[in-house]
Amino acid sequence: MKHVNSRRAWLVFGVGVFAYMTAVMQRTTLGVAGVDAAARFDSSAALLSTLAVVQLIVYAGLQIPVGILIDRVGPKWLISIGCTLMVAGQLVLSFAPDIPTAVLGRVFVGAGDAAVFISVIRLVNSWFAGPIVPQLSQWVGNIGQLGQVLSALPFAWVLHTFGWSPAFSVAAAVSFSALVLSIVFLSNRPPEAHGDARVASMREAIRMLGPTLRRPGTQLGFWSHFVSQSSGTVFTIFWGFPFLVSAVGLDRGAAAAFLVVIVISGMVAGPILGILSARFPLRRSNLVLGITAALGFVWAGVLLWPGVPPIWLIAILTVTLGIGGPGSLIGFDFARSFNPARSLGSANGVVNVGGFMASFVMLFLIGVILDVQYDAGLSTALYSMDAFRLAFSIQYVVIGGGVLFLLRARRRTRRRLQEDEGISVAPLWVALVGRWKRRRP
């Protein structure tokens, strides 16, 4: 098709990625405002964490409905509606006098955010073809994470210079610009594309959800996203900034800089993971498991370090968290590989639920554990280093369970691949030994 991989396709890609970048900004503004939120609303850790938890519950809960809508009406209007909701949500939050009003604002932000990412992924699959697709999926995530830089630097500067209401009003204005660009420049698919990639009716879209959920490849994508994305999301959306400022003892500028390190790390790792995913499609799950294992080892070093962890170890942690973000995007590559194009929106929605479901569970439990320790007199301060050691350890329970389900889904996916296409995937160590033997003289 003439317009696939064309200049028009790159324009659509650019506008879509900008919309996603603004969504990430709205999602993470509360992370750098966590300390200010505690002062503004005078609330406990668990109650404050509900601001982030409710946002993620709404986000995760809407992924499958949004995916179904994408399959029916296309991604353009979903992105536009999402930007509109985020504008409304940030304006509500900017003038919120209490926690209930602030929660309402985050509900709007979560609902708007839910509509953007999988819509942009659908645009990539509609406007591009060939090996570039998994690489572009990585770039959507990587460039989009610059929204976190916008919240960590310019938004934080406005917040600490001009105050709460001006900062969140400016954030709303950024989403409004994405809304205008999306309405003007986005299109669901190339004009010369044959047929219609959308399903014929909402009933058909809902009917196709069952087979999508039952596909082992979809489940593999879900659990891949679950185990690799959630730790970084918990850190960047809410608990990272209080941890760095109150427990590690960094000033606000240094803490914000470490959040930027997460983004830079992801932007470096993303293209590499995209190339590896395209070159070794049968070993994508090994990439996910390797990243998850690295996160577990680095977190163990931070939490077991006697006293306050040194800066170099915090730097390694933020770099590793940054790699987890693009690692989770491999889950969407599983969805693309094992689902037909007509149900790809709902498949991506299922995958995207994974990491955010794990995130809101851990976000809330961390707040509860911090409160319990402080109320029982087990920690000298609500956000002390010792309190965070136990609270952050909950990741091993949640993500560890996800790894077990990932391994189960991988076995079923490989069995289905063998039955349907005759492709047998040996364990990695068997493949490596075989390659070594073949290379021996």
Residues ≥6 apart with Cβ < 8 Å to 278: 131, 134, 135
> Is the four-CA dihedral 304, 310, 315, 318 of positive or negative sign?
positive
Cβ atoms within 10 Å of 427's Cβ, excluding its own: 10
Residue type, 163: G
Say how far apart CA 353 and CA 176 lie, in whole Å: 26
Q: How is residue 144 written in tokens?
A: 């989009």
Domain ranges of the chain: 7-439
Residue type, 333: D
> Is the four-CA dihedral 213, 22, 277, 394 of positive or negative sign?
negative
Nearest alpha-carbon partner for 340 in 186, 209, 190, 202: 209
Cβ atoms within 10 Å of 77's Cβ, excluding its own: 17
Q: One digit per residue, pLDDT tens: the chain, 441 residues?
A: 445 557 888 999 999 999 999 999 998 888 778 777 877 887 776 677 777 778 888 988 898 888 888 877 889 999 999 999 999 999 999 998 888 899 899 999 999 999 998 899 889 888 887 778 878 887 888 888 889 889 888 998 999 899 999 999 999 999 999 999 999 999 887 876 655 555 556 677 677 778 888 888 899 999 999 999 999 989 987 889 889 998 999 988 898 889 889 989 988 888 888 888 888 888 888 999 999 999 999 999 999 999 999 999 999 999 999 999 889 989 988 888 888 777 777 888 889 889 888 998 998 899 889 988 878 877 777 788 989 999 999 999 999 999 999 999 999 988 887 776 666 665 654 554 555 655 655
Say how far apart CA 29 and CA 256 lie, in whole Å: 11
Are 246 and 370 in contact, with CB atoms under 8 Å apart? no
Upper half-sphere CA count for residue 298 (Cβ side, 13 Å): 22
For residue 309, the Cα-to-chain-centroid distance in whole angstroms is 26
Are 126 and 189 in contact, with CB atoms under 8 Å apart? yes
| CATH superfamily name and code, 7-439 | MFS general substrate transporter like domains (1.20.1250.20)
pTM: 0.76
